[in-house]
Structures are given as C-alpha cells and as structure tokens.
Structure 1
Amino acid sequence: MSDLHDLCKFPNRPINNEYLDQLKYYLESGIPSTYTIEEAYNYTNNIETEPTSTTTPLHLICTHLPKEVSNEKQEIVNSMVSTLFEYGAGWSLIDINNDTPGCILIKRDLKSNPIYDLIVDAGVRAELLLRKVSEYDMEIIEDDEENELYKQFEQEEEQEVVPELVKEEQAEVDDAPDAPSQNQESYLNSKLEYVDNALITKDRKDGVMMSWESNIMKLGCDTLKKGSFIEPNELDSEVNILNIGFGMGIIDTMIQNEIPLTKHYICEAHPDVLKKLKEDGWYDRSNVVILEGRWQDKLNEILSNGNLFFNGIYYDTFSEHYSDMLDLFDIVVGLLKPHGIFSFFNGLGADRQVIYDVYKKLVDLDLSNYGLDCKFTEVEVPKSTLIQNDKSVWDDVKRSYWSCPIYYHPEIKYID
C-alpha cells in the first residue's frame, strides 16, 4: 500500500484541507488516480503478475468515509473525489469484492451521500465521451496527451462493468461476443423454450423473460393506455399500439384486455416465439397485426410509408444494446402520435444499482435531444417477486438480468 492509499483511508482526524492538498500533491507528482493497492503490493514485493482486482483510491474513500460528517468536511471529501475524477479515476472499476465505488456506498447505506451522485455523474460523462470518441478515427490526433487519454479510456472501458444491454448482466468469462446473450444474430439462431413460467435459451439457460415481470408489464400497459386519449376524457378515434418483442406475451395480453384498440401491432423476430404466437392464436385475432422480423427492418418500412402512427409504443427485447435503443429513438419520434407515449422494460444495467442509476440519467439526456420528456416512476420490487416456492427464480437460469430493489419505470412523451 502506498502513501496515496493510506491518505484515502482518512487515518487522521479531523478531515481538513490538508487531505485535499496532499492528494493533489501525489497526483501532480505523477501517481495515477487509478493506482491500486494490488499494484502497490506487487511493486513492493517484486511480483510481475498482473493483479486481477483494482482497489483504487476512490474505493478506499468510499470504504473509509465516516457515515456522519459535517457539511464542511463533506465538501472536502467531495473535492477529493472530484479531483480524482479530474485525473482520470475510474468510476466503475471493481475491487477484490467485485464492488465498484458506488456499490461500496450502497452496501454502507451511503447512497444518499453526495459522493454517490458524483460517481453517477462521472459514469454519465464517461459514457458520453466514449460514445463521442468512437465516432472518430483517433489515429489522426497527434497530441501525445490526447492519445494517452484515449488509451486510458480504452483500458478503462475494458475493465468497466457497464452492461450496455437490455436485460443483460455484465459479461461473464465464458460469454463470447457471439453468445446469444451478447449477439442478436446468435440469439435469433438459438433455440428457445417456455418452461416454468419463463422463456429461456434452451442450451445456455439464459433468462429471456420471466413471469415475475407481470407487475412491471402492468405498469407498461397502463402507461400505453394514457396515449389512447387526446385529452384526459377524449378517446382517440383510432388507437394503434405497438409492442416490440413478444416474449411470453404478458403485456400483449394486457393490451388486448385493457386498451380500446383499433390495431395491435406485435413485432417479433425469433422463429420459436413466432411459432408460439401461431399456436396461441394471435395470428387469428382480427385486431392484431404480426410484424415478422427485426424491428430495425419492419419499423423503417412503416416509417417510409408514412401513413401509420401509434398511440403507444413498448420496447422489450433480448440481446440488444443501448446503442440499439438510440437507433430506436430515431424511429420512435417519427411513429409516435403527438399525444402518444413510449415506454420500455428498463433493464439497463439492472444487475448493479449504480449502473442502473447511470443509465437512468443517460436515457433522460438522450431522449431530451429528441424533444421527448422522460419521467421515471420508482417502484419497489418485492423480494417475494423473485422467490417462488422457496427458491429463487434464477436457480435454474444461468444468467440473471435483475438484482436492483427499485424499478425505474419510464413514461416518455413529447415535451409540452
């Protein structure tokens, strides 16, 4: 352990400006803000093996921050964290306990501490920056510092745990890029099976959809129903609803039962799910239109025709990334009626609360660029929801896609 690491454990009290001054001294002297305890230990003991965990100064601050501090001392700690981020600290690097700095604060019941917001904001900035630099060929940049910064972000991105997937946990060691949970083409070519109130990939047992989501689907249905009204008491003369991703048909059944429909469009690409749709008679319903294929193709066709608009659009797919959702936003603004509402199953980073909070802010920011307003309703997920017959719903499923106690339900419409 180095002097920098000792400093971030707040060994002496009170916490005063000397801590901030000393931190700046170390960083200005060239010690990386991401310098880990593991690296310091290896250096001291002449060990050449690369460490497998990354306990950084930010982790130590989150671990040793007193639970009760005065406003003045809190401001000093806030400045220390901000300084670390200015020098490139990683907001989502994981320590030996597989915890990010934000995870540590949550475990210590310090989620309300201002440092947590600083970490979430850093995550949002990092995502936006990485998204931006990926648009350019960085080889044309000649400045050594900028090249080094880009390399640093590339390295951080490799170590970060951001799961840019809807209904997707962070990648496991055996999850190759072409695995069904990672790659849409592989998913569409994989076999699915409906078992015990769940839809899973047959070979790998990846959870695609589960019956515990019913309460969440009810939220989605109720939200879409609001778009059926031009005014609070004035029902639209033509009510068209679109659901992207049938899965187990939970929300589609609710839409049929609870919304005064003109047409109910279901876009689904997986052959096994389409087979289920046929077996269950969805193709025979007079007010249902099945769009067979990827939404990227089918919705662009509708958009090109320019004669169909929706009161409500719901999105709930598997093995798609947030970048796919950004593409969907481009289409939604062209298909949604002025009083229409868009929503989606919000599983963005839902295997880690801090990641979930980062995506909450990202979604809000991104949708505002389209002239859309996103309001989140926070709903507690009862522990009993994920326990059935005294066992976890994940017991027979290889990959879980949910571990957060609160669900952020999105309701999206045009800004008034």
Structure 2
Amino acid sequence: MSDLHDLCRFAERPITSKYVDQLNFYLRSGIPATYTIEEAYNYTNDIAAEPTTTTTPLHLICTHVPENATAEELKVVDTMVQTLFEYGAGWCLSDVNNDTPGCILIKRKLNHLNIYTQIVDSGVRAELLLRKVGEFDMEIIEDTDDLDHDRFGEVPELVEEKAEQIEQPKSDEKPDPEESNKSNQQSYLNTKLEYVDNALITKDRKDGVMMAWETDLMRLGCESLFKGSIIEDNEEDSEINILNIGFGMGIIDTMINEKNPTKHYICEAHPDVLAKLKADGWYDKKNVVILEGRWQEQLDKLLSSGEVYFNGIYYDTFSEHYSDMLELFDYVVGLLKPYGVFSFFNGLGADRQVVYEVYKKLSELDLANYGLQCTFTSVEVPKETLQENDKSVWDDVKRSYWSCPVYYHPEARFIDL
C-alpha cells in the first residue's frame, strides 16, 4: 500500500485541510487518482501480472470515512473526493468484492453523505461525456459495463452468442450503433419465451423478462397514464387514447383496458407474446389496436399518419438499451397530447443501486431536453425481490433484472411555459 492509500484511510483524526494538501501533493506528483492497492502491492513485490481487482483511493475513502465525522471533517472529505474526480477517479470501478465506491457507502448506510451525491453526479457526467465523444466518432477506450444494466439491455447469453456470429465490420469501417442495437433486438425476438407461474422468462436460459411482483408498479403506471386524460379544471378529454409499448404479461394492459379508453394501442414485436395476445382474445377487443412489430417502425407510421395522438404513453420492453429510449423520446413528443403523460418501467441500472440513481438523473435531464418535466415517486419494492432474503422471486430465474430496495416511478409531462 502506498502513502496515497494510507492517507485515504484517515488514520489520524481530526480530518483537517492537511489531508487535502497531502492529496494534492501526491496527485500533482503524477500518482494517478485511480492508482490501486493491488498495483502498489505488485510494484513493491516486483510482480509483473496485471491486478484483477481495483481498490482505488476513492474506495478507501468510502470504506474509512468515519461514521462519527464532524461537519467540518466531512467538508474536508468532500474536497478530497472532488479533487480525485478532477484528476480522473473512476466512479464505477469495482473492487475485490465487486463493489463500486457508491456501493460501499450504501452498505455502510452512509449514502446520505454528500460524497455519495458526488459519485452519482460523476456517473452522470461520465455518461454525458461518453455520449458527446461518440457524436464525433472519436476512438476511445470504454469501460461502461456498469452503465448499461437495465431490463431493456439484458440479453440472454444464448442470444449474445448468436449475435457474435453476425459478420463484423472491416477494420476500416466503423460499426453502426443503430444496426448493432437492431441486431440485438432481433436476436431477442428469435429467442423462445414461455409463460410460467407469475413470470415470463426465456425458455432456455430462464432469464426473467417480466414478473408478477411488478403489479403494483404497473398500477402506478396506469394511474399516471390516465392523468393525461384531464385537460384542465378537471375537464376530461372527449377522446382518450392510450399506447403501451411492450405487452409482456399484459399486467398494465389489463388495467388500462378496464378503464375503457377510447382507443387502446398495444405495440409488441415478439412472436411468442403476440401468440399470447391472440390466445387471450386481445385482437377481438373493439377498442384495442395491436401494432405488430418493433416500435421503431410502428411509431414511425403513427407519427407519419398524424391520425392519432395519445393521452398516455407507457414503455416497457426487453433487450433494449438507454440509447433506444433516447430515440423513443423523439416519438413521444410527437405523439403525446399537450396535456398527456409519458411513463415507463424504470428498470434502468436496477441491478446496482448507485447506477440506478445515475440513470434517474440522466433520464430526468434528457427528458427536459425534449421539453418534458419528469417527476419521480419513491416506492418500496416487495421484499422478495431482494436476493439477500431467504426466499426470493429470483430463486428459479438465472438472471435477475432488479436488486434495488426502492423503485422510482417516473411521470413526465410537457413543461408548462
């Protein structure tokens, strides 16, 4: 362990500005803000192998910041964390326990501290920077595994193997992100699904696609959508149109249809789910319109026709990424009535709480760029969704898509200027 790492253990109290001065000295001397204990150990012991874990100074600060630190001491720690980020510290690097610095604070129940907010804000900045750099086709080394964990982005390993067989572009050609996303989605559409007790899963891999524990969350979504039927002063719209993207188990669609909207549009692409829709009689409901196929094509047709606008739009798909949601926002602002409501199953980054909170801020910022103000309601999820419990909804499912104790239900409306 180096002197830099020793410094971040706060061996001496009180924590004063001397800590900041010493940290600046080490960083200005050329020691990287991401210099790990493992690298220091290998260097000291003349080991040439690359370390497999990354215990950075930021990890140490989050591990050793005193629970009884005074307000003055916490200000010094805040400055140390800010300095580390200025010198390139990584917010989502994981240590030997697969914990990011934010995860450590959560486990210590210290995520109320300002340094946790700094970590989340750093994650938001990092994602926005990567996105901006990508606009200019610059070649960079990306390590974004921890920034793409959501139900939309979870593709079964069997499907991933199929995707790898797609012909790779020549070395002088840049891959097209849109085509890559489309191929991932197509791979998912080729994967067999099955309905089992209280769940929709992939048949071979047993990965969770949708589960009954989400029922209360779907009810929140349904209630939000119908708030868009009120024009003003409690006056209800004469024509109420609702669009749901992604049928899944049909939980929210059942709730929507029970409210008897004028038109209830369901967009679904997976053949096994479409077969379920037919078997359950959804095609025969007079007020239901089934849009068969990828929403990217189906919503483009709706937008081009200009024949229907929606009081509520809900989005809940599988095997799609946050970049797909950004594309969806283009359609939402074109198809939503001025007083309408947009909502979605907020599973963005939900297998790691700190990443979940990064995506919460990102989606809020991105929706604001489209003229939509997004508010979030915090809801406790069922205890059985947390894997540390003796009995979990994931016991018979190989890959879970949720591990956070709180769900942030989103509700977006056009900003009232």
TM-score, normalised to structure 2's length? Answer: 0.91
Query: Which stretch of structure 1 is more off in the superposition, 370-379 or 232-241?
Result: 232-241
Query: CA separation in 2, counterparts of 1:173 and 1:37?
Result: 36
Q: Residues 370 and 15 of structure 1: is their aligned pair in 2 closer, same or farther, counting only changes over 3 Å?
A: same
Question: Which aligned pairs between 1:306-317 and structure 2 lie closer than 5 A?
Answer: 306-317=306-317
Aligned to 2:66: 66
Indicate the SS of the match to 2:290: strand
Aligned to 1:263: 263
Aligned to 1:207: 208
Indicate the SS of the match to 2:341: strand
Question: Which of 125, 137, 148 is 1:163 aligned to?
Answer: 148
Letter in 1 for 2:210: M
Query: CA separation in 2, counterparts of 1:167 and 1:68?
Result: 40
- CA-CA distance at 1:301 after TM superposition: 0.7
Aligned residues of 1:374 and 1:410 also touching (Cα < 8 A): yes
Letter in 1 for 2:227: K
What fraction of aligned residue pairs are identical, expressed as a percent? 71
Query: CA separation in 1, counterparts of 2:214 and 2:341?
Result: 20
Structure 2 unaligned runs (5+)?
165-180
Letter in 2 for 1:361: K
Letter in 2 for 1:130: L
Aligned to 2:414: 414
Indicate the SS of the match to 2:366: helix
Q: Residues 169 and 38 of structure 1: is their aligned pair in 2 closer, same or farther, counting only changes over 3 Å?
A: farther
- CA-CA distance at 1:233 after TM superposition: 2.3
Query: CA separation in 2, counterparts of 1:165 and 1:69?
Result: 35
Aligned to 1:185: 186
Indicate the SS of the match to 2:146: coil
Aligned to 1:143: none
Q: 1:310-360 deviations in whole A, cap 9, x for unaligned?
A: 000000000100000000001100000011000000000001110011011
Q: 1:166-217 deviations in whole A, cap 9, x for unaligned?
A: 355699899658389x921110011000011110111111110001110100
Query: CA separation in 1, counterparts of 2:120 and 2:330?
Result: 26
Q: How many residues align?
A: 399
Question: Which aligned pairs between 1:62-211 and structure 2 lie closer than 5 A?
Answer: 62-138=62-138, 151=140, 154-155=141-142, 157-158=143-144, 160-168=145-153, 178=163, 183-211=184-212
Query: CA separation in 1, counterparts of 2:146 and 2:155?
Result: 6
Indicate the SS of the match to 1:266: strand
Query: CA separation in 2, counterparts of 1:245 and 1:232?
Result: 32
Query: CA separation in 1, counterparts of 2:159 and 2:265?
Result: 37
Indicate the SS of the match to 2:312: strand
Q: Residues 87 and 178 of structure 1: is their aligned pair in 2 closer, same or farther, counting only changes over 3 Å?
A: same
Query: CA separation in 2, counterparts of 1:84 and 1:170?
Result: 35
Query: CA separation in 1, counterparts of 2:390 and 2:8?
Result: 43
- CA-CA distance at 1:38 after TM superposition: 0.9
Indicate the SS of the match to 1:161: helix
Letter in 1 for 2:192: K
Query: CA separation in 2, counterparts of 1:272 and 1:170?
Result: 16
Question: Which aligned pairs between 1:342-357 and structure 2 lie closer than 5 A?
Answer: 342-357=342-357
Query: CA separation in 2, counterparts of 1:128 and 1:219?
Result: 29
Question: Which aligned pairs between 1:212-223 and structure 2 lie closer than 5 A?
Answer: 212-223=213-224
Indicate the SS of the match to 2:242: strand
Question: Which aligned pairs between 1:221-260 and structure 2 lie closer than 5 A?
Answer: 221-257=222-258, 259-260=259-260
Query: CA separation in 2, counterparts of 1:168 and 1:216?
Result: 20
Alignment of 1:401 with 2:401, yes or no, is yes
Letter in 2 for 1:343: S
Query: CA separation in 2, counterparts of 1:411 and 1:253?
Result: 20
Aligned to 1:362: 362
Query: CA separation in 2, counterparts of 1:176 and 1:99?
Result: 27
- CA-CA distance at 1:72 after TM superposition: 1.6
Query: CA separation in 1, counterparts of 2:97 and 2:358?
Result: 21
Query: CA separation in 1, counterparts of 2:299 and 2:120?
Result: 33
Structure 1 unaligned runs (5+)?
140-150
Aligned to 2:19: 19
Query: CA separation in 2, counterparts of 1:340 and 1:17?
Result: 52
Query: CA separation in 1, counterparts of 2:94 and 2:4?
Result: 18
Aligned residues of 2:155 and 2:319 also touching (Cα < 8 A): no
TM-score, normalised to structure 1's length? Answer: 0.92
RMSD, aligned α-carbons: 2.2
Query: CA separation in 2, counterparts of 1:334 and 1:170?
Result: 29
